[in-house]
Homo-oligomer: A and B are copies of this chain.
Amino acid sequence: MLISANNIDRKSWINVPENSDFPIQNIPFGVFITKDDVITIGTRIGDCAIDMGALQQLNYFEGIDLTDDIFMQDTLNDFISDGKKTWRLVRNRLAELFDETNAKLRDNKIHRDRIIYELEHIEMQLPVLIGDYTDFYSSKEHATNLGKIFNLPENVIPINWCHMPVGYHGRSSSIIPSGIAIHRPMGQTLPEDEIPPVFGPSRMVDFELETAFITTDVNVRGENIPVNEAEDYIFGMVLLNDWSARDIQKWESWPLGPFLAKNFASSISPWIVTMDALEPFRTKGPNQNPAPLPYLQSKGKNNFDIHLEVAIQPEKGEATIVSKSNFKHIYWSMSQQLAHHTSNGCRVNSGDMMGSGTISGPTPDSYGSMLELTWGGKKPIKLLDGSERKFINDGDIVTIKGFCKNNGVRIGFGEVSTKLLPPFVRK
């Protein structure tokens, strides 16, 4: 399938720095507030944010069937509801508009000044109103590591794990965009694995290296989506740091799963990279043995080759990369996750978000959480400033980055970066 916006030879009249995640082949979508306090939907090329609401007012989307204010909104939900054909038309139009050979906008200074913002003059918002947030648990390496660290029964990986993309519901209100600091959560824990429990600040705050996908309106209640159609309902992907308090998690999670250990915060990168932009980076996923049941058997390449890394920056020090992983390691694909999620008729709407689960690779330097990197806190990590970490310290900034690269084109997500503050003090 040829998508005009993906043309690798295209260059933009907006300067794109070397190794930028946002060449004209990316064209992600996001929501931002301008310096004039206007909220708008936009895209990004290089280090410029582009006001799509203003573009629409100036008629640059003429000929595409869009409601008058589709980009003058504070979430992408309505645009996402318009469906894949419309997303593609809009993305292709943006590629044409900013193509270096297209003089229409390039040579109109008045329009350019109204449309283009430098990044430091805008503030990124959550791109969608997330109605429901699901987190899967789809990395075999992560599930295996947790089984070993927590000494779980059932041959380390739960038996059901090999037959379905195990997942659980998270909390929508916990999702925040990159750049928002969070507080170390308080909670009940069992410090020495002995009753009684105590209440106090978590001593084991951790990141989880994940990606997430955003859906359009998927189904009516009761309807399932076949696995080979599922990708048509995925708008795009973001990076996700699913913050976790391991000591709270260990004590609360039996029998109903993680709850307060997770719902204090989950951070996402603010630009949604479309599935169209990721199309050139398809790759085969891991072999699935045992064979999935028919409703989970998919054709073709359903994984994506996305390089991922996590860095920890202490309050007064430089950042240390503590993990390098890749989305291609994920065992259950997004298509399988969405097919499974709707297999019981569960309703999935525009703006819903589904996390991959922690993406751990096969080697110890590719694990996607401190729990695994330090093997339950037994092997502390040394940072570049000489300090050690078992988990995340107050004042640390955790940053996840991700990008794809081939044929000289780099399509990236930017970053999700979050500072951990000491516990909240109630006034």
Contact = CB atoms under 8 A, between A and B. Distances in A.
Interface of A: 131-132, 134, 137, 152, 158-160, 163-164, 166-174, 176, 182-183, 185-188, 195-199, 202, 221-224, 245, 248, 251-260, 263-265, 290, 293-295, 340-341, 343-349, 352, 424, 426
B186 A252 contact: no
Most chain B beta-carbon contacts within 10 A, residue among A137, A199, A254: A254
Copies in the complex: 2
A348 B141 CA distance: 34
A187 B344 contact: yes
Nearest to A181: B222
Contact of A185 (B132, B134, B345): B345
A192 to B, nearest CB: 14
A173 B260 contact: no
Contacts of A167: 256, 259
Which secondary structure characterizes the binding site on chain A?
A: loop
A293 B257 CA distance: 21
Contacts of A134: 171
Nearest to A154: B254
A233 to B, nearest CB: 14
Contact of A169 (B159, B160, B171): B171
A223 B260 CA distance: 13
A165 to B, nearest CB: 10
Nearest to A424: B222
Nearest to A188: B164
A424 B112 CA distance: 52
Given A256-B137, A256-B257, A345-B186, A131 B163 contact: no
17 contacts: A131-B172, A159-B195, A166-B255, A166-B256, A168-B168, A168-B169, A168-B257, A171-B346, A172-B172, A173-B346, A185-B344, A186-B343, A188-B343, A222-B424, A255-B257, A256-B257, A256-B258
